[in-house]
Amino acid sequence: MWAFYFSREFKMKSLLLSVFLNLSAVLIYAFGLIAPLTPSEGYPSLWTMAEFVGVPLVILVVLCFKYASSRWLQLFFVAQIVLILWTFTQLIGLQLGLYPR
């Protein structure tokens, strides 16, 4: 049983799963940036923020701590987390009027 976890097949499945989850997290956030999170649609509700920001962040945190096999991959996931948080705070600041248009 333990030999499966060290096999090439398990590593390939883990890699494919992490790529799929990474793409899905980025696409969920990108779909949120298209309409629901932008200032043209008004201030987003808590549910919208949880759906389009919270879910990708949870996926990326799980990927960072569970599926990242190297420090470079962890750094890549952390960079994506920071980028999502930074763009989201910029959008919220724009909607609250903290930044001039």
Structural domain spans, the chain? 2-96
Return all residues near 54 (Cβ < 8 A) that are at least 6 apart.
none
- pTM to 2 decimal places: 0.82
Tens-digit pLDDT profile for the chain (101 aa)? Answer: 555 556 677 677 788 888 899 999 999 999 998 888 777 777 888 888 889 999 999 999 999 998 887 889 899 999 999 999 999 998 888 888 887 76
Rounded CA-CA distance 36/54 in Å is 14
Q: What are phi and psi of 14, to 5 degrees?
A: -65, -40
> What's the pLDDT at 99?
75
> What's the pLDDT at 17?
87
Helices 8-34/71-96 angle, 10° precision: 10
Q: What are phi and psi of 38, to 5 degrees?
A: -85, 155
